[in-house]
């Protein structure tokens, strides 16, 4: 199948010597140039990536379990483990680029893993809004996970379908192979759109909070959090992780749009920098700067929600929803029609409403 993927159009497919379809290792009749990658993956750098992702995953799992940031931890850890599997497969390819199973493993694992990391990034915006000033968010904070996580999962499913089609294309089904390629491109493109939408939403909220702080001084708990160096460090780490994933996805669109075995796909240095490091850096940032230590308000809410059996993405249990219901009108500055979900979540963190007054103009 690797030789099959190395061609870009139907005519080129028929031009490939038929014996390439039976290649199982590099030889005089099965050169490495005829594989999809077109090169021997560097064993050292892939070993480095495998170890680094393993460390990031174990670190995230350990600290996340300690601080009980369950959902945030689970998605990052799963992403790191997929990356570990992908680069482990590339280590195998470093000795035999014709290894069909290793090639399919690295394609599927490395393409899908960043989507899981994205989910953890999406979970942070809700908690930032609730900790600072939910009234300044254009969307009720508890809705953010329900918007961005399903969209991200949709990207994951589309890419998974594309990877499955490409893997099952066999040696001669070029049409199915191209359908798989198009599905992968569509999934990654959708992921870029979702990432850009999230980035614009987060930037807009930051702008509104910054204006509010300058105008009112942001007293109370919200002001303390805003000025906390630990909180700023956590937000900077998430922003850096977001940037890395976005750059990687844009690179992947360019790489996949040329077809299997195109010049970009066969350029190992660009893959190492724009795929490997652009995902490793986010994973290391999220592992090294966990919310459990730098943003305890998020960790406290996640831990409490987990103990009560509430959804990690949004509203909690019915008991949680009924908590402090009589305080909703006073704590929420967003006016009639607001059910006060943000305020109830805000109260769970013991965040005062003093910093929320006078914000209805935003």
**pLDDT tens, position by position, 131-182:** 999 999 999 999 999 999 999 999 989 988 988 887 776 555 678 878 888 9
Q: How far apart are CA 3 and CA 279, in angstroms?
A: 28
Nearest to 6 by CA among 260, 301, 352: 260
Residue 34 has pLDDT above 60, yes or no: yes
**In-domain check, residue 92:** yes
- Which residues are within 8 A (CB) of 233 and not within 5 positions of it... i.e. 6 or more apart? 289, 294
Residue 245 is part of which domain span? 2-25+39-126+136-302
Q: What is the pLDDT of residue 313?
A: 55
Q: What is the pLDDT of residue 130?
A: 94
Average of per-residue pLDDT across 71-79? 97
Judged on CB neighbours under 10 Å (0-12, 13-18, 19+), 258 is middle
Q: How far apart are CA 165 and CA 211, in angstroms?
A: 49
Q: What is the pLDDT of residue 246?
A: 97
Q: How far apart are CA 156 and CA 118, in angstroms?
A: 10
Q: From residue 133, give the alpha-carbon distance in Å to each of 58, 125, 197, 298, 334.
A: 33, 12, 21, 14, 11
pLDDT digit string (tens) for 345-362? Answer: 444 444 433 333 333 333
**% of the chain residues with pLDDT over 70:** 76
**In-domain check, residue 232:** yes
CB 317 within 8 A of CB 310: yes
Q: How far apart are CA 285 and CA 225, in angstroms?
A: 20
Q: How far apart are CA 170 and CA 165, in angstroms?
A: 9
**In-domain check, residue 30:** no
Instruction: Count the domains in the chain.
Output: 1
Both structure tokens of 4: 């099959």
**In-domain check, residue 56:** yes
CATH number at residue 199: 1.20.1070
Q: What is the DSSP code (8-state) at residue 314? A: S
CB 94 within 8 A of CB 41: yes
**In-domain check, residue 11:** yes
**In-domain check, residue 110:** yes
CB 106 within 8 A of CB 90: yes
Q: How far apart are CA 223 and CA 209, in angstroms?
A: 10
**In-domain check, residue 352:** no
**In-domain check, residue 248:** yes
Residue 269 has pLDDT above 50, yes or no: yes
Residue 278 has pLDDT above 80, yes or no: yes
Q: From residue 325, give the alpha-carbon distance in Å to each of 234, 345, 347.
A: 31, 11, 10
Nearest to 140 by CA among 340, 330, 316, 322: 340
The sign one gets for the Cα dihedral 153, 154, 159, 160 is positive
> Any idea which of 4-13, 68-77, 162-171 has the lowest mean pLDDT?
4-13
pTM, 2 dp: 0.80
CB atoms near residue 318 (< 10 Å)? 9
- Mean of pLDDT over the chain: 81
Describe the chain by its helix, strand, coil percentages, rounded to 5: 75, 0, 25
């Amino acid at each position: 199948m690797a030789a099959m993927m190395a061609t870009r159009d139907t005519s080129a497919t028929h031009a490939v010597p038929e014996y390439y379809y039976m290649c199982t290792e590099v030889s005089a009749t099965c050169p490495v140039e005829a594989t999809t990658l077109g090169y021997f993956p560097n064993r050292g750098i892939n070993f480095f990536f495998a170890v680094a992702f393993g460390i990031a995953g174990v670190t995230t799992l350990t600290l996340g379990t300690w601080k009980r940031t369950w959902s945030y931890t689970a998605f990052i850890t799963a992403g790191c483990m997929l990356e570990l599997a992908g680069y482990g497969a590339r280590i195998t390819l470093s000795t035999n680029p014709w290894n069909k199973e290793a090639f399919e493993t690295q394609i599927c694992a490395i393409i899908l893993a960043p989507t899981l990391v994205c989910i953890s990034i999406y979970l942070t915006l809700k908690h930032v809004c609730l900790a600072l000033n939910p009234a300044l968010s254009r969307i009720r904070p508890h809705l953010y996970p329900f918007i961005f996580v399903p969209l991200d999962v949709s990207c994951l499913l589309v890419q998974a379908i594309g990877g499955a089609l490409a893997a099952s294309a066999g040696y001669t089904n070029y049409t199915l192979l191209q359908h798989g390629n198009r599905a992968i491109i569509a999934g990654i493109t959708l992921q870029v759109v979702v990432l850009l939408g999230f980035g614009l939403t987060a930037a807009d909220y930051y702008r509104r909070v910054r204006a509010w702080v300058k105008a009112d001084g942001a007293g109370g708990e919200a002001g303390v959090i805003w000025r906390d160096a630990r909180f700023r460090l956590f937000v900077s780490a998430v922003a850096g992780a977001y940037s890395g994933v976005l750059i990687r996805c844009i690179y992947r669109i360019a790489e996949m749009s040329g077809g299997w075995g195109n010049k970009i796909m066969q350029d190992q240095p660009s893959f190492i920098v724009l795929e490997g490091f652009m995902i490793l850096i986010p994973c290391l940032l999220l592992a090294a700067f966990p919310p459990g230590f730098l943003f305890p308000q998020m960790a406290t809410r996640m831990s409490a929600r987990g103990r009560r059996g509430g959804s990690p993405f949004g509203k909690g249990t019915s008991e949680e929803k009924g908590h402090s219901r009589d305080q909703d009108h006073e704590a929420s500055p967003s006016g009639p029609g607001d059910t006060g979900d943000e305020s109830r979540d805000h109260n769970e963190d013991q965040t005062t409403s003093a910093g929320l007054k006078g914000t209805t103009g935003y």
